[in-house]
Structure 1
Amino acid sequence: MDMSGRVSGLGIELLNQSNYKIWRTCMESYLVGEDLWEVVCGNAVVAPEDAQENADVLKVWRMKNAKAEFLLKRSISPDLFEHIIGCKSTSEIWTTLDGLFNKKNMARLQMLENELANTTQGSLSISQFFFKIKNLCSEISLLDPEEPISEARMKRHIIRGLKREYIPYICYVDSRVGSTTIFGGV
């Protein structure tokens, strides 16, 4: 890991409380590309039987499993490591992380809703701020598919969180174009 919170050499951001969907997509692609996916979630998640005739196959499986395990462990933030410390295989690590982040968890949903409500542009660029809001809305919608965040609600959060210096511009653009603007009359 380098100082920017990325996995060295991969350009993948460390898994943290708010980027599971992006991390999972990138990590899955990387594991497939490195021919390690089969030991994580494919047909080879269980080690071959430890018999003399399987010695070479077992050796290859152990090597692939160890590479994938190291990669997964090095790609998560330290505060999440305690969740996977007892896992015995890469398949178990993947399943544990998926269960941790990819279920309807009311406490996590509330945390994300609070983060969305309190997110402001601050020192972020406009594009960084837009992406942060969009990612939060997307993750909330994944956790609660019965009540996904509408585009209009997402736009209201964006406008509400922008620096004050942008508000006159937004009002001007919205008044010139009317309710057909990207701000939806907000």
Structure 2
Amino acid sequence: MTNAIVPEILTDKNYGNWKVWLKSYLLGQGLWDIIDGTYVKPVGNQADLSAWRKNNGKAFHAIQICYGADMLTYIRELDSAKAAWDCLATVHEQASGARKAFLEAELRSCKQGNSIVAEFSRKVKDLCDQMEGIGIKMENDT
């Protein structure tokens, strides 16, 4: 499934790529400063608060439409885009240890068998891409 913001919605397998895609979108829309914390919620001035709320809403909406319904559990009660971004990062980065072990085992057990070279190569490349997506640097000899 795709949308106009990212090529794939967030799943338990594509967090590394997803965060890069969404960050690029948010940067292009001038909303990344909401996520990285440089544009904090102002106190006092109503006009500044209104502008922050508008930008926070845009960034939060972008996050919400770019993940699967199963991710809603994690951010349902949150009220800021930064909190949602940080929460999703925590959830997926904690899971990356188990994911890393799983992907490494998959790669070690990967055999061509009866598949054609192109199919086997795609499978190996997909596993390597997923590993790089969670921060595992792949060397050519690996």
Given the two structures, how large is their TM-score scaled by the length of structure 1? 0.61
Asked if the contact 2:5–2:62 (Cα under 8 Å) also holds between the matched residues in 1, the reply is no
Q: Are positions 1:129 and 2:120 aligned together?
A: no
CA distance 1:93–1:41, change in 2 (3 Å): same
Aligned residue pair count: 138
Q: CA separation in 1, counterparts of 2:10 and 2:133?
A: 14
What is the aligned-residue identity percentage?
26
CA distance 1:91–1:120, change in 2 (3 Å): farther
String of CA shifts for 1:31-50, please: whole Å, max 9, x gaps: 01101111111311x3111x
Q: CA separation in 1, counterparts of 2:34 and 2:95?
A: 27
Q: Which has the larger radius of gyration?
A: 1
Q: CA separation in 1, counterparts of 2:6 and 2:79?
A: 27
Given the two structures, how large is their TM-score scaled by the length of structure 2? 0.78
Considering Cα pairs closer than 8 Å and 6+ residues apart, tell me whether 1 or 2 has the greater RCO: 2
Asked if the contact 1:84–1:96 (Cα under 8 Å) also holds between the matched residues in 2, the reply is yes
Q: 2:73 corresponds to which residue?
A: 82
Residue from 79, 84, 89 that aligns with 1:93:
84
Q: CA separation in 1, counterparts of 2:111 and 2:92?
A: 24
Residue from 32, 37, 41 that aligns with 2:36:
41
| Structure 1 gap segments, 5+ residues each | 154-186
Asked if the contact 1:39–1:64 (Cα under 8 Å) also holds between the matched residues in 2, the reply is yes
Asked if the contact 1:116–1:137 (Cα under 8 Å) also holds between the matched residues in 2, the reply is no
SS of corresponding position for 1:28 = helix
Q: Are positions 1:27 and 2:18 aligned together?
A: no
CA distance 1:118–1:18, change in 2 (3 Å): farther
Asked if the contact 2:9–2:66 (Cα under 8 Å) also holds between the matched residues in 1, the reply is yes
| Structure 2 gap segments, 5+ residues each | none
